[in-house]
Structure 1
Amino acid sequence: MDFWHDAAAQKRWLRRFVLLTAVLLVPVFALAVFARPSADDYIYAARTHAVVQQYGFDLPRLLRAAWDTNAYYYENWQGLYVSGFTLAFQPAIFGNKWYGITLLCVLLPLFFCLYGLMRCVVLRLDPAQKHLPWALALLLTFAFIQGMPSPVEGLYWFNGAMNYLPYFSLAALNAGLAFALCFAGKLVPRQKVLYALTGCVCSLVIGGGHQVAGLLNVLVLLLAAVLCARRHNLWQLPAFVAAVLGLLLNVLAPGTRVRTAGFAGAGFAEAIVKSFILAIMQWLRWLDVPLLCLLALLALPLLQLARSAVLPDRVFRRPWLGAAVTFVLMWAMIFLPSYTMGGIGAGRLLNVVWMTFVLGLAATEFLLLGWLERVRGVSLHRAERFCQHHARRLPLAVACMLVMMACIGSHTVKEGQDNYFATSLEAAYELADGQAQRYAAALDEREAILTDEAQPEVSIRPLNEDERPWLLFYTDVAPGPDLWGLTPYFAKQSVTISDFE
C-alpha cells in the first residue's frame, strides 16, 4: 500500500519521529532548570511580585497588578497593550525554581500554532493526511529550537522570548486561517464565521504584542486579501482590518512616542537601504547545512501536497514568487526597527525574522516542486520509487539529518555567535561543563541576599566569565546604581553593584 494512504505506517513513522526528537531535545529542557530572571524581567514584574510576597497566589490582585503594569507601559514606554500584561507574570515571581517554565511558555504556543497552520493547509489540500500536520509542526518546532540565532532571547529569557515568539506564533496561525478562507466556498457558514472571528482576535492580540509581528501579520493578511479579492472572496478582510487597527493602537500609543524619542532613528532612505542589505546578508548566512537538512526532510510531504487537485496548475507557474515574498517580509521586519531605532535591534528580532525565512523557504520549495511536476512536466516519481526501494534505510537517513540539525546549528549576521553549536549540543555542553550550574548558583546566591529582610541596603556583584553560559546568560548588572529595577522588585531601600574584586 502507498505510504500516504497507509495510516498504520504513518503512525509508526510519527511515533519514531516523536521519540527521536524528544531524545534530542532532552538537554534543551534539562538546561531550562537552571534559567534565572534577568534585566527587564524584574521591572515588568515588580507589581505582581509584590502581590505574591504580600498575599501569595491571589489571582484577582495579580490580575489587577498585571493590568496596572500594562497600562503604565502603554502610556510611558511602548504601546504593547497585550505583552505588558503577560510580561508581568514572569515565573520567578513565585520563586527562581519556577523560572524554567519560560521554555514551555514559549514552545507550547509555537508548536500548537504551527500545528494549526499545518492543519489548515494539509487537510485542505489532502484530507487523508491526518497525521502529517503533527509531524510537520514537530519538525518545524525542532528546527526553530535548534537553529534560532539567539536561543537565550528566544527560549530561556522570559521578557525577551514572550515579547516576540507568541505573537509570531499567532501570526503563523493567522496565515493558516487565511489560507483556509481562500477556499471559503468549500466551508460551511459556521466555519467561515469561526475562522474570520478567530483571525480578528489573533490580529488584535498580535497588534498588542509586538510591532514587528504585527507588521508581519498585516502584510500576510494583505497578500491573502488581494489574492482572494479577484474571486470576490472577502473573508480575509475582517482579520486584516483588525490587524491594521491593532498595529495602529500600538504605533500611535503615547508610550511608543516616548520610546522612539529615545532612539536616533535612521532616515527613511537609509533605513530602506540598510534593511535591504541586512536581508540579503541573512539569506546568504542562513543557507547552510541544517537548513538543507530541513528542506530535504520536507521534500516528500510537500511533493505529496503539491499534487493536490484542490490547487490549479496556475498556482505553480511562478515559484520564484515564494522567495520574493519571503524576502519582502524579511525586509519589512528589519526596516521597521531600522527606521525607528536606527538598527536591526536585539537577537530576539533576528529569531522571528529567521523563522519567517524558514517558513518562506518551505513555501517556496512547495511551489518549486509543483512547478516541476505540474508546469514543466518533470516526473518525480522516480525519486519516490528510489525512496521506497531504500525504505529500510530511510529512518537512518532521517535520524542522521535530525542529528545534524541538533549539532551544527545556524548562523547569524551578528558577529561573535558563529562558534556555538546548535541548541541541543550547546545545552549538553553547558550542562556537562558545569556552566549552567554555576550560573544558577551565583544568581540564587544573589537572590538570597536580595530577599534578606535584615538588609534594607544591599550590594551585589556582577557575574564572572565562568558564570555566563551562552544559552542562559542574556546580560548582567554593571558596577554602579541599580538600573534593573531590583530595588522596587525586592522592596529594598537601595541596591548597588560593586566591582567583582
Structure 2
Amino acid sequence: MKKLLIRGNNYLIAFLSIAVFIISMLPIWYLAGYARPSGDDYGYSVLTHAAWIDTHSLIEVFKAAIRTVKNNYFGWNGDWFTTFLFSFMPEVFVPYSFWIVPYIMTGAVIVSTLIFMHEVCIKLIKATWAECLIFTSLILVASYQYIPSTAIGMYWYVGATHYMLPYAAGLLGIALIFKFIRKGKAGYLIGASVCSLMVGGSSYFTSLLLFMVLFFVGIIVWGKVPRRAVLLFVPFVICSIAFVIQCKAPGNAVRGGENFGFDFSVAVYTIIESLKRGAFMVGLYIREKTLIFVILFIISVIGWEMMSKVIRDNKFAYPFPLLFVIIMYGVYCAMFAPEVYSEVYDSIEISLGPATIQYFTFLLVSFFMILYCEGWLLKRIERKNKSDSFEEFMENRYRIFIMFPVFFLCLILTVINKGWLKESVDVRVYEYVSSGQADDFKKQIDSQMEILLDDSIKDAYLVPINQDQGPLMHMPVTTDENSFTNIVVKNFYRKNKVVMINND
C-alpha cells in the first residue's frame, strides 16, 4: 500500500485501467456473433464472391477486386484503396464468417493507438510504460463506449473499412514519422510512405490529418535535422498523389452530381463553418457524453503527476501553449471539412462515419492539449519555486490529497449520475441482448440464410426480420425486389429474385 502512494508507481493503476478497458470491450466482442453483412457489404463483394465460387483461385479473386475498383472509380466513388478492401468481405470466402469483422476493426484501432501512444508518451514525453498503458486504456474506453456509430466503428464491414482502417493506418503512419525523425532509419520512412498511400487512397479525413502532421513536423524539425525534414516530402507526395487520384475520380461526379468539384467560395465557407461546428460539437459532447470529460479529468490528474516528474530531465520549455491549443483545435476542426464541403451538394448522403472520426480525433487532441498545458504550467512553477516544497508535495502528498480523492469523487459522481452510463455502448448491448431482440434477430437471419445458401432455390422469398437492430448494422431486404439491398443480395447469392414477404 505504501508503494502505491509513491509518485511514478503506476503499475497497479495501469493494471486496473487495462482491466477496465478489456471488460468494457467484452460486450462489444460478444455481439460480434450476431453481426451480419448487409447492403454495401454485398454490393462491393459480388464480383470477388463469384470469382471464388467459380474458381477458388485467389488470383482470380484479386482480378475481380481490381475490376470492382475500376467499376466504382468511374461509376460511383474514388476511394480506390478502401474499395479494393471492400471486395474482400469475409463471407466472400466462408459463409457465416462475418463475426470476425468487429475483431478486425477494433483490433486495428487498438494496436495502432497503442503504437502511436507508445511513440508519443514513452519516446517523446519520456513517460513510463505504465503511464502509456493508463492513457491508452482510458482513451480507448472513452472512444468505444461513446462512439457515435457502433456500425461504422465495428459492425458494418464497408463503413468500418472506409473510416476506421484508414484512421488506424494514419495513427501508425504518424508514429512511423516520429520514429523516422528520431532515428533516421529508411525502414520507418518506407513504412510511413506505405501508410500514406493507404490513407490517401481511402479517407479524406485521415488524409487531412496526415497532411497537417507532416507539415507541422517538417517545420519543427527543419532547424535540427533538415535532411530528415526534406525526406518527409516522400510520404507527403505519395499521400498527395493518392489523394488527388481519389478526388479526380469520375465516379465522384456521378455520386455528387455534375456540379460537384472544387469551388473557392465553398472552400472558404467550409473553413469558417468547420471552426464553428467544432465548437458546437464540443458543447454537444459536454451535454451528451459527460463521462468522457470525467475520463479526461482523470487523465489530467495522472498527467500532472507524470509531467512533474518528466520535466525535470526534459529541457523542452513547452512554449506558446495558447498557440498549441489553437493548432490542436484547428486539427480537430479540419475533420469537419470534408463533411461540410459535401453538404453543399445535396446529392451526397452523410453517414455517421465523419462524426466517428471527429470524435476520435477530439479525444486525442484533448489529451495532447492537457499534457502540453500542464508541462507549460509546471515549467513556470519550477522556475518560480526554487525551494523543494513543491517537489516534496508531489513526491509524498499529491496522491493522498489530490489523486486518490479525485478518483473516488469521479467514481461517486458516475454512480450517482446513472444517465452518464445509459448511452454507453455496453449498456446498449446489454439491453439489446437481455431483451431477446438479439437472439430474435439472429434466428430470423439464420432462416433467411438457409434460403439464400440453397442453390436449388432461385426465387428467394424471405420472412421479415426484427427491425430493432440495436448497436448492429443491417439493411433489410424489402418487399420491392428492385430496391438496392434486394439487388445486391440477389447478385451475391446468384438468385433470380430476392424479395421480402409482405406482412399482410
CA distance in 2, matches of 1:40, 1:171: 24
Structure 1 contact 407–424 (Cα < 8 Å) conserved: no
Point out the more displaced range, 473-482 or 260-269: 260-269
Structure 1 contact 121–180 (Cα < 8 Å) conserved: no
Corresponding residue number in structure 2 for 1:416: none
CA distance in 2, matches of 1:308, 1:401: 32
Aligned equivalent of 2:237, options 233, 241, 259: 241
**Aligned amino acid, residue 455 of structure 2:** E
Unpaired segments of 5 or more residues in structure 2? none
Question: Which secondary structure does the structure 2 equivalent of 1:168 belong to?
Answer: helix
**Residue 144 to residue 262, structure 1, CA distance change in 2 (3 Å):** farther
- Does residue 459 of the first structure (1) align with residue 465 of the second (2)? no
Unpaired segments of 5 or more residues in structure 1? 411-419
Give the Å deviation of 1:106.
0.8
- Residues 32-84 of structure 1, C-alpha deviation per residue, up to 9 Å, x if partnerless? 1101111100001112222343455x433333332332232223222222111
- Does residue 337 of the first structure (1) align with residue 336 of the second (2)? no
Corresponding residue number in structure 1 for 2:377: 372
Give the Å deviation of 1:493.
1.7
Give the Å deviation of 1:160.
0.5
- Does residue 492 of the first structure (1) align with residue 495 of the second (2)? yes
**Residue 449 to residue 122, structure 1, CA distance change in 2 (3 Å):** same
- Residues 228-252 of structure 1, C-alpha deviation per residue, up to 9 Å, x if partnerless? 2344531433222222222112112
Corresponding residue number in structure 1 for 2:359: 354
Question: Which secondary structure does the structure 2 equivalent of 1:459 belong to?
Answer: strand
CA distance in 2, matches of 1:70, 1:394: 56
**Aligned amino acid, residue 436 of structure 2:** G
Question: Which secondary structure does the structure 1 equivalent of 2:333 belong to?
Answer: helix
**Alpha-carbon RMSD:** 3.4
Structure 1 contact 48–65 (Cα < 8 Å) conserved: yes
CA distance in 1, matches of 2:275, 2:403: 45
Matches within 5 A, 1:102-181: 102-125=101-124, 127=126, 129-181=128-180
Point out the more displaced range, 149-158 or 121-130: 121-130
Corresponding residue number in structure 2 for 1:258: 254
CA distance in 1, matches of 2:342, 2:195: 25
Aligned equivalent of 2:197, options 188, 204, 216: 204
Corresponding residue number in structure 2 for 1:476: 476
CA distance in 2, matches of 1:80, 1:140: 29
**Aligned amino acid, residue 353 of structure 2:** R
Structure 2 contact 459–497 (Cα < 8 Å) conserved: yes
Question: Which secondary structure does the structure 2 equivalent of 1:495 belong to?
Answer: strand
**Residue 127 to residue 157, structure 1, CA distance change in 2 (3 Å):** same
Give the Å deviation of 1:119.
1.7
Give the Å deviation of 1:499.
3.6
**Aligned amino acid, residue 20 of structure 2:** L
CA distance in 1, matches of 2:62, 2:6: 49
CA distance in 2, matches of 1:240, 1:90: 30
Point out the more displaced range, 129-138 or 20-29: 129-138
**Aligned amino acid, residue 215 of structure 2:** L
**Residue 67 to residue 401, structure 1, CA distance change in 2 (3 Å):** farther
Matches within 5 A, 1:323-472: 323-342=325-344, 345-375=350-380, 377=382, 382=393, 385-389=396-400, 397=408, 400=411, 421-460=423-462, 462-464=464-466, 467-472=467-472
- Residues 358-403 of structure 1, C-alpha deviation per residue, up to 9 Å, x if partnerless? 1011010011111211135588754664453379968974994997
CA distance in 1, matches of 2:435, 2:491: 35
Corresponding residue number in structure 2 for 1:414: none
CA distance in 2, matches of 1:322, 1:407: 35
**Residue 365 to residue 392, structure 1, CA distance change in 2 (3 Å):** closer
- Does residue 225 of the first structure (1) align with residue 218 of the second (2)? yes
CA distance in 1, matches of 2:16, 2:273: 45
How many pairs does the alignment contain?
Answer: 481
CA distance in 2, matches of 1:275, 1:500: 45
**Residue 385 to residue 256, structure 1, CA distance change in 2 (3 Å):** farther
CA distance in 1, matches of 2:114, 2:102: 18
Point out the more displaced range, 376-385 or 292-301: 376-385
Point out the more displaced range, 74-83 or 474-483: 474-483
Structure 1 contact 74–255 (Cα < 8 Å) conserved: yes
Task: Name the TM-score, length of structure 2 as normaliser.
Answer: 0.84
